[in-house]
Amino acid sequence: MSKQDGSQRQVSAPTVDSSTSPILHVDLDAFFASVELLDRPELAAHPVVVAHDSPRSVVTAANYPARRFGVRSAMPLSQAKRLCPSAVVLEPHFEKYRHYSRQVMAIFDDMTPLVERLGIDEAFLDVSGAGRVLGSPGEIAQRIRERVRAETGLACSVGAASTKFVAKLASGRAKPDGLLVIPAAETLRFLHPLPVSALWGVGAATEKALERHALHTIGDIAASPRSALERSLGAALGAKLHDLANGIDHRQVTPERVEKSIGHEMTFSTDVRDDDQLRRELLRLSNRVGERLRRGGLEAGTVALKVRYADFTTISRSHRLATPSDLGRTIYTEARALLDALGEHPPVRLIGVRAEQLAAAGGAPLALWETEPGWRDAERTVDGVAQRFGLDSLRPASLLSSPRGERLRED
Amino acid sequence: MKFQVNRDVFSEAVSFAVKLLPQRTTLPILSGVLIETTETGLRLSSFDYEVSAQTEIDASVDTPGTILVSGRLLADIASRLPNAPVEFSTEESRISVRCGSANFTLLSMPVEEYPTLPQVSEQSGLLPADAFSDAVSQVAVAASRDDVTPVITGVQLEVSNTTLSLVATDRYRVAVREIDWDSGDRDFSEGVTALVPARTLQEIGKTFGHSGTISVAITNTDDREIIAFSADRKTVTSLLIKGNFPPVKRLFPDEVDNYAVMNTAELVESVRRVALVLEREAALRFTFSIDGLTLEAIGSEQAQASETIDAHLHGGDMVVSLKPQFLLDGLGAVHSEFVRISFTRTENPNKPGPVLITSQSSKDQPGADSYKYLLQPNLLLR
């Protein structure tokens, strides 16, 4: 879709009528990079790339000056350096991103109870009920942008429209640091010139299929007979794209999706053969998952292990716990058993642990005796220390030597 | 090889031999049943390196020999044969089975690759079959089904000179029962223990339930600890689980003066009814007072349920939160018209004391058996 570097930026005049566009999509601009630049304001006009500086690293984020050189997230760092040799590489600080994310989301919550968070740096807001108190959607969007800048120093872009997907397209076009309002009556005029790849649900394969039928723009799709689309793309996808192309999107803004699973994974800078190292990494990831479970007041019913080998074959294994747990220790024991059960295996590129079938904590029966007395207290204590002094300030002895810089990417 | 055998006798023997075979095995040969001719008939064996089953039956043998055939297939065939004598004969590796109008041809697996079954000669003691079968069914319900902790997936057998005690736990409940044990002239005053996989023991209990007396042998050869149960020309052996069973017997209170007595069937019915609205894994709330026992399920937002039944309370009022399935397992195991639920005291303010379930032959008379089922309540929420 858009070129991500702001070169096709499109914003609204302050006079545009936003009363028919109550769905806002707010997206923080180059979030990770912008947060890093808060500490290095002198680099703001410079190309900046956020990444661990190691041989197999990928770009976590890039600011707009770097994007103009063609640098994109998830691109290998080596390639980014070739494209933009002058770029400054900054280490990511995920705790900071979480901190700023919470601050920004709190601003959204002040505007309307209907906030649907999408990851760490974007959200949908339905402000149709807020109009009388706070003003028109356009005014609310402007107020959000001002507060975010005043309270965090970050820039965000807002799309306002009558449906979620048009709002998201609009915020993408408004970047960086812009506001684009698409009144309901203007929806089709805005949509139709856009390429088909801008539609939600159109990936590379679908795009190719559409191109075979000479459908290049959203307008082309809107003009095609619905039945023809259903024939060539399948009934469900064909009908969906036809609706979207005609500006029809019935999805509501749904606040707080219940988390279905909590997982952490890790790509190694060089493929790992040593099972001890894999186990150590599992322990670290499991503790992280346990910490998030406890913070969310949740317990896992199932533990899943994901392993990606050097040749990119990916293996998933899961095991149902006899009783739900929120202990990193228990998650590690299960994940490790799943890893050990793989037996002989090729070098590992990525390893991940996921807690699934989550339920509110406290529902599980108590045991007559504790198998590992004190573990719960120990992990709670670690949580407390982490809250005051930062993640990893207190960790298992086996993880003391693990070099933090070795980590590439985590989510 | 060639023999004739009675259809029902053969079918029963095959079904016994395959019962303990694992559903899936890594070695195909272990899914077979070995049939050997003996002087008086046939010996059928199965073995998967953990569990073995062997039985002898009468048959008229024309030509001696040994064959190895797929156990499940043979059991399916044997159970569907018409009511007529069964005749087996072999020609090289082909086995032909004739019974009345039906003919089957099966392929024999390589007999020479089949492992030798563990032989247990010495005898450790004798058990009354009906009491043993009863005790196994009562105790094994509490065994863990989670292979992560192998030790508690077994039932612990503890032998003294005159009694055998069975213990099982999954950390949430403990079930115990003692039965008579005749050790003959052997001395077990030091005590001997054997940790037998619960699933295997349950099959053994069912198989030997009507056998009168079961002979038991516990042996240790080549660092492999094995227990063998024999009766009615049938023998089952099992490897013992290694490891130390947790000392759960000390969790039982010496004396409890706070308890309630209910009609077992009435309580079971009520628990099943009220639990209908519960979400999975959720607990029921039980309030014992002078007015009876009130069961409450506060399930989802959509549904709630409650019911009050008769209960004779001794001591103070009590509220506990129990997982219905755990309670039902205990109620199903007491095998008595009435049941006593006793409330133990606790030193730990964050953890309610366990409840003890025992049999009760009438409202006032405790049951005669030694069965005890200890259950840890959930936290009382709200």
Reply yes or no on whether the pLDDT at B222 is more than 70. no
Residue A87: DSSP 8-state: P
Mark yes or no for CB contact A322/B323 under 8 Å: no
- pLDDT for B294 beyond 50: yes
Probe site for chain B from A329, A368, A371, A372 (most B CB atoms < 10 A): A368
C-beta separation of B310 from B297 below 8 A: no
Q: Does B24 touch chain A (CB under 8 A)?
A: no
At B157, the amino acid letter reads L
For residue B174, which residues of chain A lie inside 8 Å, CB to CB? 368
**Residue B331 pLDDT exceeds 80:** yes
Minimal-distance CA residue of chain A relative to B323: A365
Nearest CA in chain A to B324: A365
Report how far residue A121's alpha carbon sits from residue A97's, in angstroms, rounded to the nearest whole number: 9
Q: Which residues of chain A have pLDDT under 70?
A: 1-4, 131-132, 256-259, 362-365, 371-373, 387-393, 401-411
Mean pLDDT of chain B: 91
| A322, A365, A371: residue with CB nearest B378 | A365
The C-alpha atoms of residue A336 and residue A327 are separated, in whole angstroms, by 14
A322·B379 Cβ contact <8 A: no
Tally of CA atoms within 13 A in the half-sphere of A6 that contains its CB: 18
Q: Does residue A200 or residue B53 have the better pLDDT?
A: B53
Closest to A367 in 3D by CA, of B284, B352, B373, B358: B352
For A368-377, letters b (16+ CB in 10 Å) and e give: beeeeeeebe
Residue B15's pLDDT is 94
B252/A contact by beta carbon, under 8 A:
no
> What's the rounded Cα separation, in Å, for the pair B12 and A302?
41
Question: Is the CB of B172 less than 8 angstroms away from the CB of A369?
Answer: no
Per-residue pLDDT tens over the stretch B178-190 = 999 998 778 888 8
CATH class of A261-410: alpha beta
Q: Provide the token pair at A125.
A: 């807001």
Nearest to B172 among A362, A363, A368 (CB): A368
B-chain residue closest to A371, CA distance: B171
Active-site residue list of A:
122
> Which chain A residue is nearest to residue B352, measuring alpha carbons?
A366
Q: Do B145 and A366 touch (CB under 8 A)?
A: no
Q: How many CB atoms lie within 10 A of CB B98?
A: 16
Per-residue model confidence as pLDDT tens digits over B241-279? 998 999 999 999 888 889 999 999 999 999 999 999 887
- Say yes or no: do domains A1-185 and A192-245 share a fold: no
Give the HSE-up count for residue B161: Cα atoms under 13 Å, Cβ half-sphere: 5
Whole-number Å distance between alpha carbons of A266 and A318: 18
User: B169 in contact with A at a CB cutoff of 8 Å?
Assistant: yes
**What whole-number distance in Å separates Cα of residue A75 and Cα of residue A405?**
19
Q: Provide mean pLDDT across the span B29-47.
A: 94
Interface test with A, best of B148, B321, B323, B357 (most A CBs within 10 A): B148
Write out chain B residues lying below 8 Å of A323, CB-based: 172
Q: Does B147 touch chain A (CB under 8 A)?
A: no
ipTM: 0.77
DSSP string, A205-237: HHHHHHHHTT--BHHHHHHS-HHHHHHHH-HHH
CA distance B282 to chain A (A): 6
Nearest CA in chain B to A322: B146
Compute CA distances B375 → B87, B170, B178, whole Å.
Answer: 54, 10, 19
To the nearest whole percent, how much of chain B has pLDDT over 70? 97
Q: Do B376 and A367 touch (CB under 8 A)?
A: yes
Predicted TM-score of the model (pTM): 0.61
Distance separating alpha carbons of residues B158 and B164, to the nearest angstrom: 6
C-alpha triplet A157, A159, A164: angle, nearest 5°: 130
Size of interface A-B (CB pairs under 8 A): 52
Question: For residue A337, what is the nearest residue in chain B, using CA coordinates?
Answer: B148
Report the Cα–Cα distance between both ends of chain B, in Å, rounded.
Answer: 73
Closest partner residue to B376 among A337, A365, A371, by Cβ?
A365
Give B303→chain A minimum CA distance, Å. Answer: 18
Name every chain A residue with its beta carbon within 8 A of the beta carbon of B379: 362, 366
Partner-chain residue, chosen from B149, B374, B379, that has the shortest CB–CB distance to A362: B379
Write the burial class of residue B9 (CB in 10 Å: 0-12 exposed, 13-18 middle, 19+ buried): middle
CA A176-A56-A38 angle, 5° bins? 35
CB contact under 8 A, A368 and B283: no
Interface test with A, best of B26, B171, B252 (most A CBs within 10 A): B171
CB B185 within 8 A of CB B125: no
Contacts of A359 in chain B (CB under 8 A): 281
DSSP string, A133-182: HH--HHHHHHHHHHHHHHHH---EEEEEESSHHHHHHHHHHH-SS-EEE-
Q: Is B282 on the interface with A (CB under 8 A)?
A: yes
A225 CB contacts (<8 Å, ≥6 apart)?
A: none
Minimum distance, in Å, between the CA of residue B170 and any CA atom of chain A: 9
Residue of A nearest to B325 (CA): A365
Return the structure tokens found at B51.
């569990």
Q: Answer whether B381 sits within 8 Å of A359, measured CB to CB.
A: no
Q: How many Å lie between the alpha carbon of B370 and the closest alpha carbon of chain A?
A: 21
B148 contacts A368? CB cut-off 8 A:
no
pLDDT of res. A294: 83
- B positions 87-126 inside 8 Å of A (CB): none
Decide if B169 and A322 are in contact by the 8 Å CB cutoff: no
Q: What is the spatial distance between Cα B291 and Cα B312, in angstroms, rounded to a whole number? A: 9
DSSP of B133-158, one letter per residue? HHHHHHHHTTS---TTSGGGGEEEEE
To the nearest whole Å, the CA of B191 is away from the closest chain A CA by 25
Are A362 and B173 in contact (CB < 8 Å)? Answer: no
Chain centroid offset of residue B362 CA? 28
**Inter-chain touch B381–A337, beta carbons under 8 Å:** no
So what's the pLDDT on residue B267? 97
Q: CA of A331, closest CA in chain B: separation in Å?
A: 12
Q: Would you say residue B114 has pLDDT above 60?
A: yes
Contact B172 A367 (CB under 8 A): yes
**Residues 317-376, chain A, touching B (beta carbon < 8 A):** 322-324, 333-334, 337, 359, 362-369, 371
Ramachandran region, residue A340 (left: φ > 0; alpha: ψ -120 to 50; beta: rest): alpha
pLDDT beyond 90 at B38: yes
Strands A156-161 and A179-181, by their bridges, are parallel
- The answer to whether the CB of A187 falls within 8 A of the CB of A243 is no
Give the CA angle between residues B275, B277, B282 to the nearest 5°: 65
d(Cα B284, Cα B298) in Å, to the nearest integer?
8
Query: Are residues A363 and B282, on separate chains, in Cβ contact within 8 Å?
Result: yes
Nearest to A368 among B282, B283, B376 (CB): B376
Q: What is the CATH number of domain A192-245?
A: 1.10.150.20
CATH superfamily of A1-185: Reverse transcriptase/Diguanylate cyclase domain (3.30.70.270)
Question: pLDDT: is A374 or B354 the higher one?
Answer: B354
CB-CB neighbours of A142 under 10 Å: 16
Task: Round the CA-based radius of gyration of chain A to a whole number and report it.
Answer: 24
Domain boundaries, chain A: 1-185, 192-245, 261-410
In B, which residues are within 8 Å of A367 by CB distance? 171-172, 376
- Angle, helices B198-207/B7-19, rounded to nearest 10 degrees: 160
